[in-house]
Amino acid sequence: MHHIISIGDFDRDGIDRLLDHAGQIQKKKYDAHALDGRILAVLFFEPSTRTRLSFQSAMARLGGTSLSVGSVEACSMAKGETLADTVRVVSGYADAIVIRHPKEGAARLAAEFSTVPVINAGDGAGQHPSQTFLDLYTIRQSMPLDGLDIALIGDLRYGRTAHSLASALSLYNARLHTICPKGLELPATLAAQLAAKGTEIIEHDNLEEIIPDMDVLYVTRIQRERFPDSASYFNVASSYRITPELLAGAKKRLIVLHPLPRVDEIDPRVDALPHARYFEQSRNGVPVRMAMLMQVMQ
Amino acid sequence: MKNNEAAENEGLLVRRIKNGTVIDHIDGGEALNVVKILGITGTTQEALSIATNVPSGNMGKKDIVKLTNRELSKEEVDRIALISPRATINIIRNFKVFEKKGVEIPTLIEGLVRCPNPGCISNTHEPIRSKFRVRPEGIHCIYCDWVISRDITSHII
C-alpha cells in the first residue's frame, strides 16, 4: 500500500515523476474516469480552505467522490476517540484518506492503522507534502529546479510548508536563504538535517539586500498570535513585507510564492507584477493533487 | 596473570554471583543510568552490586553492574546499548559464565525513548509506542522527525 506522508520519503526521481504526471494532467491528458466509484475520506482536524477544496476538486475531476467531517467539534474525536480508532473506522468507508491534524506525526500514525492509503495534508508544524509538490511544480513552470537561490521568508519555525519545501529542495542543490523574525528561525533539528545533506543555509537580516540574487521568494504568514501584542507584530511584519519597490532590483525570472492565505506579507500591488505566482500556485494544487490521488489509488 | 589480579581486585569491590547477569564494560559513570533503565528501584528484592569508575585497560574507566537471579530481555539489552555501546552482557549460571555477548544498537528503537517534541503524536494517548530510527547524527523520531543527538539517557522512558 502506498501512502504519501512526508516529502522525505521521496527521492528526486519520485518527485520528478509526480510533477511530470501533474504536468500531463494540466494539459488535460488524463482519464476523467480514472477514479470512478472511488471514495476519498477527507479527515481534517484543523481549519483549511485551499487544501480541503482542492483535494475534493481533484477527486471529483477524476470521477470519484469524497466524504468529509463537517468540523472537529462534530466528529468522534471530540468525544475522546483516539486518532488510531477513527482511522481504523474511516478506512472501512473509503478507498483513501487525506488527513490534516494538529499533532506532528499524525499522518504517519494514521498510515499504521489504516487499511487504505493515507495522504498527509499537514501535521502540526511537521510535513505538508502536497503543498511541497505544488510549490515545486510552480517553480518548475518558470525555471529548472536545480541550483536555485531561494529565500524562505516569515515564520520558519512553525511554517510546515517551508520545512517540507526546504527538505525537497535539498535534493536539487538549492541554496536556502532564510529571513525571519528572532525566535521564528528554522528548527535546529531540520537545519542540522539539511546541513548534513550538504545544503547551504544562509541567514540574512535584510531582505532588500538579497533580492537581486534570488530566483524564488517563498513568503509565509507570520502569525499574530506568536507576538505579545499587536504593536510588536506590526513592527516585525512590516519589515518582511514584499512590495513593488522592494522587487524593483529583482532578476527578471524571480517568482514570488506564498502558500496562502496571506495577510500583510505581500502588498496587493505585487499581484499585478509578472513575479507574482501565488494564485497560479494555488490553482496548481488541483492537478498536483490529482496526480497524488492517482498514485496512491491506482 | 594480570587478568587474575584484576579479577581479584574486582572481587574486593563486588562479589561473584551464583546466578544472574554481569554487565561489564559500561562507560564510566553510566552504571546508575543502567540501573535506572533496568527499572531497578529501592523495592527490588534481588541483590545488586555496582562498581563505578573501575580502572580499565581499554576504556580508562568502566562501570560494572551485577544482578542476581535475573537475565536480561533483548529490549533491556537494547536500552543498555543506547547509553553504553561497548558494554558486555555475561549471563552467569552456577558461578560460571554461561554466555557472553556484546550489546548491539538496534536500527529501530521502539518504546524505549520519549520524544522530546511536545507536539509529537507519540506524546498523546494514542495506542502507539515511540519509535526512533538510529542514524549517525543521533536517533530520529519516525513520527515527527525530531532528532536526539545528545544526552539520550535523559529521554529513556
- Residue ranges, comma separated, of all CATH 3.40.50.1370 domains in chain A are 7-128+284-297, 130-282
- Whether A104 has its CB under 8 Å from any CB of chain B: the answer is yes
Percentages helix, strand, coil for chain A (3-state, rounded to 5) are: 45, 15, 40
Higher pLDDT pick, B13 / B117: B117
Q: For position B14, what pLDDT does the model report? A: 63
Verify that B34 and B66 share a domain, yes or no: yes
pLDDT, position A125? 84
User: ipTM value of the model?
Assistant: 0.87
> Do both B39 and B97 map to the same domain?
yes
A-B CB pairs within 8 A amount to: 57
Domain shared by B68 and B132, yes or no: no
pLDDT at A120: 97
Cα A3 to Cα A52, A68, A75, A114, B40, distances in angstroms: 18, 19, 24, 10, 42
Q: Distance, in angstroms, between A4 CA and closest chain B CA? A: 13
Task: Kindly state the cell numbers that stand for B93.
Answer: 549460571
Tell me the percentage of chain B whose pLDDT exceeds 90: 46
Count of domains observed in chain B = 2
Average of per-residue pLDDT values in chain A: 93
CATH number for the domain spanning B113: value is 2.30.30
Chain A hits for B137, Cβ within 8 Å: 192-193, 196
Please tell me the distance in Å from B150's CA to the nearest CA on chain A.
12
Check if the beta carbon of residue A83 is closer than 8 Å to that of residue B121.
yes
More confident residue, A158 or B143: B143
Tens digit of each residue's pLDDT (9 = 90 or more) over B76-110? 888 888 888 899 999 999 999 999 988 888 889 88
CA–CA separation, A64 and A58 (whole Å): 9
Which pLDDT does position B13 carry in this prediction? Answer: 57
Residues B71 and B137 in one domain: no
pLDDT at A87: 96
In the sheet with A118-123, reading across from the earlier edge strand, the strands are A65-68, A39-44, A96-101, A118-123
Cβ contact, residue pair A109, B142, below 8 Å: no
Mean pLDDT of A276-283: 97
Of the listed ranges A59-63, B73-77, B113-117, the least confidently predicted one is B73-77
Per-range mean pLDDT, top range of A3-12, A222-231, B44-53, B82-91: A3-12
Taking alpha carbons only, the member of A104, A177, A56, A29 closest to residue B115 is A104
**Could you tell me the CA-to-CA distances from A107 to A44, A110, B144 in Å, in that order?**
11, 5, 10
pLDDT greater than 80 at residue A193: yes
Query: What residues make up the domain containing B53?
Result: 2-102
Give Cβ neighbours of residue A70 (< 8 Å, ≥ 6 apart): none
> Residue B86: which CATH number?
3.30.70.140
Nearest Cβ partner for B119 among A82, A83, A104:
A104
Is the distance from CB of B146 to CB of B115 less than 8 angstroms? Answer: yes
Average pLDDT on A88-99 reads 97
Under 8 Å between Cβ of A123 and B119: no
**Are B39 and B92 within one domain?**
yes
CATH of domain A130-282: 3.40.50.1370
Same-domain status, B80 and B6: yes
3-state secondary structure of A280: helix
- Find the mean pLDDT for residues A232-261: 90
Tell me the average pLDDT across A112-138. Answer: 95
- Mean pLDDT on A272-280: 97
* Residues B81 and B51 placed together within one structural domain of the fold: yes
* Residue A129: strand, helix, or coil: helix
Kindly state whether residues B94 and B122 are assigned to the same domain: no
| Mutation to test the B interface, candidates A104, A157, A160, A186, most B Cβ within 10 Å | A104
Whether residues B71 and B29 share a domain: the answer is yes
Q: What is the pLDDT of residue B1?
A: 43
Class of domain A7-128+284-297: alpha beta
Residues 70-89 of A with CB under 8 A from B: 82-84
Supply the pLDDT for residue A75: 66
pTM of the model: 0.86
Minimum Cα–Cα distance from A195: chain B residue = B137
B68 and B138 together in one domain? no
Facing residue for A105 by CB, picked from B127, B137, B143: B143
Do B96 and B44 reside in the same domain of the chain? yes
